[in-house]
Amino acid sequence: MDQAYLRAHPEHLPTFLTHQRIRETPMGSGGFATASRLTLDDGTSVFAKTWPSGEPPAGFFTAEAAGLTWLREAGAPVPEVIAALPTLIATEWIEPGDASREAAERFGRDLAALHRCGAGAFGAPWTGYIGPLALDNTPTTGPWGPWYGERRLLPYLKISADRGALSAAEVRLIERILHTLEAYGGSEAPSRTHGDLWPGNILWAADGQARLVDPAAHGGHRETDLAELALFGGAPHLSSIVGAYHEAYPLADGWQERVPLHQLHLLLVHTAAFGESYRGQVRAAAISTLRGL
C-alpha cells in the first residue's frame, strides 16, 4: 500500500493493519486513542489513531476529520486528512521540530487568520467530541454567554458533580457564574476555533510552522482558544504567540481578566473525564472569574 492507493481506497487500511501488511511504529497515546506512525510501501509515512479496545464512540473519528477539514478550508495549519473511518483516522505525517520564538510568532499570526475567517454560528454542523466526551455542537445564533454556559460549562459541571470530582461548594461557584453569563461575549461574531487548544495540541514542526492537531473544532469565542493556550504549564513562547496574534487581530479591552472564564470549559472537561485531581484549578478559575464580575 502506497499513499496513492491509500487515498483511493482508505477503507482497506484496517485490513492491512490487521494482517500486518504495513510497518507500524507505536507512538503512545494520541489523546484517548492509540497513535502510531505507518510507513507505506513508497517510503512515505502517515500518522494514524485507532481506538485502543472495542468500538470507539459513534462518530468519534469522523468528528475529528470534519474539524480538521473545516479548519484546513480556512487556511489553518493542520495536517491533511488522508483516511477517516469509523474505527480510525489517518493524516499526513508532520516531522516534529523545535518550538522556536519565530515559530511561535508565526503560529500567533496563523491563529489570528483562522479566527478572522469566522463561523456561521456558535457550534458546528456535526456531532462533536472533546477527549472521550460528547460535545454539543448544535448551531446557535444567539449571544455567546448563554450558549457558553448551556453547551460548554453546564454539561461537564453535571458530570463532574455526579462523579464526585467537585464539591457542593465548587458546584455553587460555577452556578453563580452561569447566572451572570448574559453580560459576557460582547458583539463579536463567532470565530472558527480549534476548541481544545491546550499546549499539547500544538505540533511544533521541523519546517518552522506549528500545526493544530486533535481539534474539537466549532464556532466559538476566539478568547477561549487563547485562554486554553495558557493552561497546564502554558505553550512555549506564549507571550510571543499572544503578541503576534494581538498585532494581527487586536483583542478587546479586558481580555486578560476574562482568561479564567474561558478556561473553565476545558478545566470542567478534565474534572468530568479525569476526576478530582483538577478540582483545585476549577476552583481557582471560578473564584478569579467571580472577582472580575
The pLDDT of residue 185 is 63
Concatenated DSSP letters for 133-198? EEE----B-S-HHHHIIIIIIHHHHHHHHHTTSS-HHHHHHHHHHHTTGGG-STTPPPEEE-S---
Nearest partner of 157 among 174, 169, 180, 145, judged by Cα = 174
Read off the C-alpha cell for 288: 478569579
Mean pLDDT of 70-76: 97
Q: What is 3-92's CATH topology?
A: Phosphorylase Kinase; domain 1 (3.30.200)
Nearest to 156 by CA among 216, 201, 230: 216
Question: What average pLDDT score do residues 36-58 get?
Answer: 89
CA dihedral 262, 219, 222, 261 (to 10 degrees): -10
pLDDT of residue 155: 98
Given this model, what pLDDT does residue 33 score? Answer: 84
What confidence score (pLDDT) does residue 108 get? 98
Model pLDDT for residues 101-130, shown as the tens digit of each residue: 999 999 999 999 999 999 999 999 999 999
Model confidence pLDDT, tens digit, residues 229-258: 999 999 999 999 999 999 999 999 999 999
CATH architecture of 101-291: Alpha-Beta Complex (3.90)
Residue 29 has a pLDDT of 58
* Interval 184-225: pLDDT, tens: 767 789 999 999 999 999 999 999 999 999 999 999 999 999
Please report which helix (H) or strand (E) contains residue 38, including its range: strand 33-39
pLDDT at res. 12: 85
Question: Which letter does DSSP use for residue 80 in this model?
Answer: P
- Per-residue pLDDT, 102: 98
Using one digit for the tens of pLDDT, what is the confidence trace for 40-50?
A: 888 899 999 99
Q: How confident is the model at residue 31 (pLDDT cuts 50, 70, 90)?
A: low
| Least trusted range by pLDDT, from 23-32, 52-61, 89-98, 194-203 | 23-32
Amino acid at 252: A
For residue 81, pLDDT over 90 is answered with yes
Domain residue limits, the chain: 3-92, 101-291
